Amino acid sequence: MRISKIVALSFLSFGMTHLSAADPVETDRKKLSGSWSGWVVEGRGDNPKQRRMAIEVTIKDGKMTGIENGKKDLGEGTFTLKVNNNSKQLDATRTKGDPGRGQTYQGIYSLDGDTLRWCVSSPPGRERPAELQSKTGQFLMILERKKK
């Protein structure tokens, strides 16, 4: 009887721990929701004067939109997240806007408070970036959450 109680408590404890553990994808999806502004940067973005272009990204309800330099529409798309111990992946697929409708930009990201660092392959279809850095075949955006 005593052993069965210990086993039952162990399973109950495991089940409660499992249920209370937050899904990292949903956690990041909620954290990413909102409006972001910043820059496509040179290199790793260590030198703030090395900015290539201003960019604004809005993420809401599983969709994202982008605007370059405050006026050029970069289109609209959907995105998927994958989070594991070694990496965070954010892939965006263009659903509206040309060129590139239907193509997927494979990316990696880091999220630190109100700072999003997102690096994507370019042009779409290239191999996923291995590190957060602008270089041939990929570009890095450093974005700050816009305050309401």
Mean pLDDT of 42-55: 85
Number of domain units in the chain: 1
Q: Is residue 123 part of a domain?
A: yes
Mean pLDDT of 15-22: 52
- Tell me which amino acid residue 30 is: K
pLDDT score of 84 = 86
Q: Is residue 70 part of a domain?
A: yes
Q: Is residue 77 part of a domain?
A: yes
Stronger pLDDT, 121 or 4, i.e. the higher one: 121
Nearest to 59 by CA among 79, 38, 81: 79
**Enclosing H/E stretch for 24:** helix 24-32
The boundaries of the domain holding residue 34 are: 23-145
Q: Is residue 35 part of a domain?
A: yes
The model scores a pTM over 0.85: no
Stronger pLDDT, 96 or 114, i.e. the higher one: 114
| Rounded Cα gap, residues 76 and 145, in angstroms | 19
Q: Is residue 13 part of a domain?
A: no
Task: Give the model's confidence band at 3: pLDDT under 50 very low, under 70 low, under 90 confident, else very high.
Answer: low
Mean pLDDT of 95-107: 84
CATH number of the domain within which 43 lies: 2.40.128
pLDDT score of 11 = 40
Task: Give the model's confidence band at 8: pLDDT under 50 very low, under 70 low, under 90 confident, else very high.
Answer: very low
Q: Is residue 122 part of a domain?
A: yes
pLDDT score of 22 = 82
Q: Is residue 15 part of a domain?
A: no
Q: Is residue 135 part of a domain?
A: yes
The set of residues, in sequence order, having a beta carbon less than 8 Å from that of 112 and lying 6+ positions away, is none
CB 109 within 8 A of CB 88: yes
